[in-house]
Amino acid sequence: MILTLDVGNTNMTGGVFKGEDIIATFRITTKMPRTSDEYGMLLCNLLQQNKINPDDIKDAIICSVVPNVMHSLASAMIKYLDIKPIIVGADLKTGLRIDVPNPQQVGADRIVDAVAAYEIYGGPVLVMDFGTATTYDLVDETGAFIGGITAPGIRTAGKALWQDAAKLPEIEIAKPEKIVGVDTITSMQSGLVYGQIGQTEYIVKKVKEETGLNNLKVVATGGLGRIIAEETDCIDFYDANLTLKGIYLVYKKQNRNVN
């Protein structure tokens, strides 16, 4: 079994692959500082809760956009799982040609999303990840990453409202029944959710106009991506586990021999 970890700014998502199948997933809060022992115990407990013996994990790969957790996390895997994990980066063999001036600036999460979207759904493809940031990344028909767009995530935009405006409360991110809100909460929900839908549709439209790729496939992932995907026809596929699948696809290209 192979352990894949997607370390995001808000959450760390884990997936266990047995062959090509994801047999377990779990989440850990990223922002809480932890020692290597704490990470090790957490990982072992989560595996056991999913009826997986930690000894059955034969290898691991980490995709991270949070550098300051990596030492403790990698050390935990070495100590508790006896595995030195692969770390995804622009210099790793991914099968994706990064055709931008500074490939090292492309985040590991965007690389694995692009790999998964292209290999699973084909190209050209625009892949969206609705996380702490909302990212839109374009892969052409030859499998080259040719650029992207970065915007505040839905929850990030919401935090700006309730942290910087004294009278606006913290709210649940959900789509209200009508676009015109009847109170503070529904008006904020409307602005956040319908605003993201409008942004998504406009960006897809402009990407197609500027590139001439009218046959562009549009794939979405990320925790809040399902809400958006259900409300617009411009998204062709929603795949909740796209990032984990991309991490596993990158893992397979490393040709590591595991027993």
Q: Helix crossing, 184-211 with 154-164: angle to 10°?
A: 140
Catalytic one of 59, 109, 140, 239: 109
Active site residue 56: no
Tell which residue, 12, 87, 76, 30, has the closest CA to residue 247: 87
Indicate the SS3 state at residue 112.
Answer: helix
Contact call for residues 250 and 88 (beta carbons, < 8 A): yes
Contact call for residues 76 and 20 (beta carbons, < 8 A): no
What one-character-per-residue DSSP string does 69-102 give?
GHHHHHHHIIIII----EE--TTS--S-EE-SS-
Q: For residues 43 and 205, give the distance between their C-alpha atoms in angstroms, rounded to a whole number.
A: 42
Q: Which two tokens stand for residue 60?
A: 């691991």
Catalytic residues, by residue number, are: 109
